[in-house]
Amino acid sequence: MAELEPRNFLKPCLLLLLREHDDHGYGLAGRLHPWHDDGDAGSVYRALRGLEKCGLVRSEWHASAVGPARRTYHLTVAGREHLDGQVLHLAEVCASLQEFLDRYAALDGADRVDVGEVSRAAVHRTAVPGQRRGAP
């Protein structure tokens, strides 16, 4: 599970965002908000350089009519395959976490955390505007 600890979750998130569409670093940092509240552009660029070094993404410079040229990042075939593997691993982690949460929720006692309330807040936070959760 160490590979997908929160500090390592940035890379799979970037791969997913690039699978949705090519983007530049600041655009990716803004789109990361549901998963990474800090949205630190420096961390995003460091992660992108690491992904590029591993051959999971590639980049190219594009001139802009307004402002400086921007480096646009693209997902490679290897990046897509790596993302697919990460998704399978995340599904396993999700199932384990759900089992844990279900067992916790089944405990007697008024002093336990209301997991349902936390889950509803998380769904609200990560929902794409104008799109129902689970909709294509």
Query: Does residue 133 lie within any of the structural domains?
Result: no
The CATH number assigned to the domain holding 23 equals 1.10.10.10
| pTM, 2 dp | 0.75
- Distance between CA atoms of 127 and 109, rounded to whole angstroms? 31
Query: Does residue 134 lie within any of the structural domains?
Result: no
Residue span of the structural domain in which 64 resides: 2-126
Beta-carbon contacts of 63 under 8 Å, excluding residues fewer than 6 positions away, are 69
- Distance between CA atoms of 109 and 128, rounded to whole angstroms? 35
Report residue 13 CA to chain centroid gap.
Answer: 2
- Distance between CA atoms of 59 and 127, rounded to whole angstroms? 29
Q: Which of 4, 25, 18 is nearest to 57 (CA)?
A: 18
pLDDT at 62: 87
Query: Does residue 135 lie within any of the structural domains?
Result: no
Query: Does residue 14 lie within any of the structural domains?
Result: yes
Helix (H) or strand (E) holding 107: none
Q: Which residues of the chain have pLDDT under 50?
A: 1, 128-136
Query: Does residue 112 lie within any of the structural domains?
Result: yes
How far, CA to CA in Å, does 97 sit from each of 35, 47, 102, 133? 17, 26, 9, 20
